Structure 1
């Protein structure tokens, strides 16, 4: 099996080769998320003027076994672990500190999110002033805010990379097993204390991210194909046992919020699938046009992820106010309209990427600058996590949108610019993950 560290697409400044397979896997995951959301959202305007929303896809009998296979969130975090540990090692090689890593990671995630929250706040307040029913506005806010749970979980995992990498270097298996033990402990108490289960948004995704560390170290490179298939089968068998025993649900969407042990097992399975298909993914990613598409999407992945649901919600909300044909949810006409909905979202994403995509670009100044004081970085972390955690647990409201936008803007000001090591800016990496410093 081809080793993942072979220089398939050139090297960065630290001499680390780009792994086209990981870039393509991240792109496929993002595409599946956008397609899946286009197949789920179905607002309904009732004769009395009230509006409700239906998750058409989740109501299908065939959906539960399908989502078992296509629940790609664990793979996002596995890939994030691979790119995260590589980015941290590169920063260490340039003399960077853990505080600078946190500053860099947080700034690159918060800047595009701040623009989204501000735009949503202004847009929804404008809709209220234009006479749109407050119920419709709240429905749009809550639906469009769904990506924020991912931002909260991803930030919690990524900002802990310096600490988790240090633990991984000293005791990799003990660290992983310790995180899994914390996941199981929280799962044991979720029945008695339901809110306590949300702590697993940290433990579960940090454990899955840790799998990416193992992959980055080449641990799975030594496994034969038959062994990887056995690992995949074993993980799914354990998940089936957990479902039969009633310890988790057979619907992975239910298991996702709040996450439980099944997502860790699914992460192990998907890491093995990624390793098994890596030669094929590398071959596909080497095709020029595929590589070009992945390059563009990779530079603006966070913008696409954050904006696709708000744009989808806005588009469907506006359609409710028109006489445009709206097939009933779940009918043949509704299913045939899904490609048009997806195409419409893609068209709306183009100007969003042009306007806000630059916020994802490497925020490193051309000249050397000093990092912010530790108190400023810590304060920025707190003011970001308070509204994000609130939205992830309780849902997004118009008031929280405004408060979140203000908190995110404050965090950007507190973080300033990422400290540069050296006298020249780092060159842009065409296929670089959007959150790599």
Structure 2
């Protein structure tokens, strides 16, 4: 249903409804990532006192086949392309520009990340001062910082969205083909220039995001269910051929960082699956309890994503220090304990969401505040990607956690607050869609 809100003149205004099917798909992806990580993180304390981590789930024989189906990261970017394109077009209709879009996207993503980095830096330095072995601290830094790569990749794709949307409006298939060609070129050269492989953190995920654009517009292609099933099968068949030829590993987790062409084929299959099952997802998402659950999780999705792995790593480390019985990874006792681990991580997330979840809310200023200068927005983007690039190329360290927190905080200061345009100044004739008065709801992708 549509949500009615009041114009400043008192009349009702129709605000575009959220796509409940896309919200439910993103909730499913988030839940799957959290559950998957609880089965991957398994620290091991050796007799000589050293500590290592073991990816228990990844060591299972059946893991390669399962992760082929459950590697949902491409679906995240497909959904982000759908909601991002719609959000960008509404912002532009209200008189906003690309820098307004970039400002809002960066604020939503970097504010919760800045707090996470600061808390991790403070907590781990306290652990060092308390006598915790530096090796254990570095292990926690490396493991807990893993979600940050997604933040960097998603932010890069979203910051390029206005440009890619313009190209999409002129030549959608040519734009997608061009991005796919860049992905192939990088894959061909990564053997000679290994660092070039990280360029696909931009090209690959922007290409997958374009698939979301295509779904959002439908491009006048009312595909039948049989055609969508054929696309799903074709995407997986193409991926299978690449694997059988030995061009890429069959393990989709290995293909994730840095990403490669295999994930584009996976993204094509998942985009078609999303379109195929969208009517069923809409019916399921319309149930009251599902809608409420998805809405609560959606308003705090980035906080959940960023914090769940650091909390899991910290909990696992503390259990090692206390001598709590640790069943061997992959044993029956270990598997039976996974639901308890998931429950414990969920319990730890609740106070974090209460304390820091509001940082995801769209910050607003007065109704007539001016947008930030383009130079401030571009500078903020550069400041954010300096520590992110360092972490991608050289690995995350305790010092980089502190530097990253400082850079993210500086970027947030540069970006300021997102101005709110009223109905009266949305369009020259005052006929533009109304916005709710501050404070706005949390999700900046309505």
Displacement of 1:219: 3.6
Matched, 1:361 2:361: yes
Change (3 A) 1:416 1:76: same
Change (3 A) 1:175 1:32: same
Displacement of 1:66: 0.2
Cα distance in 2 between the residues matched to 1:70 and 1:344: 23
**More displaced, 98-107 or 70-79?**
98-107
Matched, 1:93 2:80: no
Matched, 1:168 2:184: no
Instruction: Write out per-residue CA displacement over residues 387-430 of structure 1, whole angstroms, 9 at most, x where no aligned residue.
Output: 11222333211000000000001001111111221277557787
Deviant stretches of 4+, over 6 Å: 11-14, 427-430
Displacement of 1:17: 2.9
Cα distance in 2 between the residues matched to 1:382 and 1:190: 25
Change (3 A) 1:202 1:63: same
Root mean square deviation of aligned Cα:
1.6
Cα distance in 2 between the residues matched to 1:35 and 1:427: 35
Cα distance in 1 between the residues matched to 2:48 and 2:299: 45
CA contact (8 A) 1:117 1:405 kept: yes
**Secondary structure of the residue that 1:135 maps to in structure 2?**
helix
CA contact (8 A) 1:109 1:435 kept: no
Cα distance in 2 between the residues matched to 1:220 and 1:338: 46
Instruction: Write out per-residue CA displacement over residues 61-100 of structure 1, whole angstroms, 9 at most, x where no aligned residue.
Output: 0000000000000000000000000110110111001111
CA contact (8 A) 2:3 2:14 kept: no
Matched, 1:273 2:273: yes
Segments of 5+ residues of structure 1 without an aligned counterpart are: 1-7
User: TM-score of the superposition, structure 2-length normalised?
Assistant: 0.93
**Match in the other structure for 1:337:** 337
Segments of 5+ residues of structure 2 without an aligned counterpart are: 6-12, 424-434
**Secondary structure of the residue that 2:39 maps to in structure 1?**
helix
**Match in the other structure for 1:405:** 405
Cα distance in 2 between the residues matched to 1:145 and 1:404: 11
**Match in the other structure for 1:4:** none
Matched, 1:288 2:315: no
**Match in the other structure for 1:38:** 38
Instruction: Write out per-residue CA displacement over residues 214-250 of structure 1, whole angstroms, 9 at most, x where no aligned residue.
Output: 1111248611110000001111111111011111110
Cα distance in 2 between the residues matched to 1:116 and 1:236: 37
Change (3 A) 1:277 1:114: same
**Match in the other structure for 1:313:** 313
